[in-house]
Homo-oligomer: A and B are copies of this chain.
């Protein structure tokens, strides 16, 4: 049994909460504003918009020591929809990892549209969660939670691959926002 804290109760936080519960693991779902409640999970999913990450790190950083921290953000520039807000040679996940040296940070879920986590399919294809990180055990622990919930999980490499996962998430959002792909589908891992 793994106990998972999810910070952020929007579409993604709720979808990930459902996935964890479905697999028989336990969830603590905190709103960003629940600053008085402690983080009790072994895995902590930061299911907030990227712009809210600095505040989470400032208020919760100490509580995240020793935990597996899951960054699901897509750091889009929502004014232009034409770039990310992180440096081209870095990633949101790398920045979070640099701020949390006592945590094991993994990137995951940012390439999954929320509806595909709940339905278990992207279009007709089983939903796959891509996970990147430098700690194999952390990735494996998260993958176990994902597969227990009925989805596929793939170890996509080191935390350096977060850059490519964020590029994929960015591209997917721009295409969905232009109705070039449905929010119930997206980039599925086929074959």
**A residues within 8 Å of B by Cβ?**
82-83, 87-89, 122-125, 154-158, 160-161, 163-165, 167-168, 170-171, 174-175, 180-182, 184-191
Residues of chain B within 8 A (CB-CB) of A125 are 123-125, 188, 190
Q: How far, in Å, is A160 (CB) from chain B's closest CB?
A: 6
With contacts A88-B89, A168-B167 taken as known, whether A156 is within 8 angstroms of B181 at the C-beta atoms is no
Nearest B residue to A170 via CB reads B164
| Bound form: Cα–Cα A74–B89 in Å | 17
A190 touching B155, Cβ below 8 Å: no
Please give the distance in Å from A122's CB to the nearest CB on chain B: 4
| Residue of chain B at shortest CB distance from A113 | B191
Q: Please give, as numbers and ranges, the residues of chain B lying within 8 Å of A175 by CB-CB distance.
A: 154, 156
Query: Closest 6 A-B residue pairs measured CB to CB?
Result: A185-B191, A123-B190, A167-B167, A123-B191, A188-B190, A88-B89
Given B158, B164, B171, B186, which contacts A191 in the complex, CB threshold below 8 Å?
A: B186
Q: Chain B residues near A164: list those with CB within 8 A.
A: 167-168, 170-171
How far is B175's CA from A158's CA once the two chains are assembled, in angstroms? Answer: 12
**A–B Cβ pairs within 8 angstroms, 14 of them:** A83-B160, A87-B88, A88-B88, A122-B191, A124-B125, A156-B174, A156-B180, A157-B174, A165-B171, A168-B168, A184-B191, A185-B190, A185-B191, A187-B189
Task: Report A181 CB to chain B, min CB distance, Å.
Answer: 6
A82 touches B160 (CB 8 A): yes
What is the chain B residue whose CB lies nearest that of A171? B164
CA distance A160 to B124 in the complex (A): 30
